[in-house]
Amino acid sequence: MPKLIVVTREGEEREVMGEAGLSVMEVIRENGFDELLALCGGCCSCATCHVHIDPEFAAKLKPMSEDENDLLESSAGRDAYSRLSCQILFSDALDGLKVTIAEED
């Protein structure tokens, strides 16, 4: 089972294990991080699961879709490593991925 490192808005870092095949959003929520709202449930229709990806892993992710990009455009905290965690499929190749939960818009 691959490991995911989650940094909360308060800066607390926690390592959790996640099932390959779930989205990063699902892994975060299943491990009790309630600050990641994910209001649309992973349908890529809101930006409440916004995270910042560790730059080391950015090239390992599939390219961002146009819909994801459009949703992130409305986020004040967007940067070069912003992604919607519902759009990242967690896998063994992402073992050790570190994400920081973005500030709430």
* For residue 80, pLDDT beyond 90: yes
Question: In residues, how long is the chain?
Answer: 105
Show the domain range for 73: 3-101
Strands (E) located in the chain: 3-7, 13-17, 50-53, 82-84, 97-101
Task: List, for residues 58-76, the tens digit of each pLDDT value.
Answer: 999 999 999 999 999 999 8
CATH of the domain at 53: 3.10.20.30
Total domains in the chain come to: 1
Could you tell me the pTM of the whole model? 0.95
